[in-house]
Amino acid sequence: MSVVEVRARPLQLTALLCVLLALALDVAALASPAWVTAEGYALSLWEACGLRGDEWSCVSTLRTDWQVATLVLLLSGASVTLLSFLVTLISLCRGTHRKHSRVIAVFLFTAVVLQACALVLYPIKFVDGKMLQTYHEFNWGYGLGWGATIFMLGGGVLLCLRTEDAMY
């Protein structure tokens, strides 16, 4: 029997960790019930809830084109990030990370563009639609989306670095 030695560089392992964190933050952002909040109002990617009297009532947000576009862009970015994570993990385990790291970085940069488009579109169209006439704030779900995008970008940059000749 032979033993396969895996020699992953610390930057590739850090990139894998960044992609994993981006994926986790993306899932949390997509599931978050709080993207926009105001007194008696909460908006997520999936539904808008308002306080009517003493009870909360919710309606689907998938009726407006910009909310559907935001959701599709975010889901596409998360899918590309998942694919990047799986390919990175497999290439690190097989020892072919040098050959595949640039392709994975391109995937991650594509996911960054998709996510950034969604995260810029969302507040612009929200404010343009004047959905709320009261004070409102973009909440933690929206922030998690930006956090995921930053970790995707970091993972892509780390995968682009040439470290064959570098000393650790």
In a domain, 82, yes or no: yes
Judged against a pLDDT cut of 80, whether residue 59 lies above it is answered with yes
In a domain, 121, yes or no: yes
Looking at the structure of the chain, the number of domains it has is 1
Tokens of 84: 């990047």
The domain in which residue 16 lies consists of 10-35+64-133+142-158
Contact (CB, 8 A) for 156 and 59: no
Of 93-97, 120-124, 142-146, 164-168, give the lowest mean pLDDT range: 164-168
Q: Which residue has the higher pLDDT, 52 or 147?
A: 147
In a domain, 86, yes or no: yes
pTM of the model: 0.84
Distance CA 60, CA 44 (A): 9
Summarised one tens digit per residue, pLDDT across range 75-101 is 999 999 999 999 988 888 887 767 778
- Burial of residue 142 (CB within 10 Å: 0-12, 13-18, 19+) is buried
Contact (CB, 8 A) for 122 and 167: no
Distance CA 1, CA 131 (A): 66
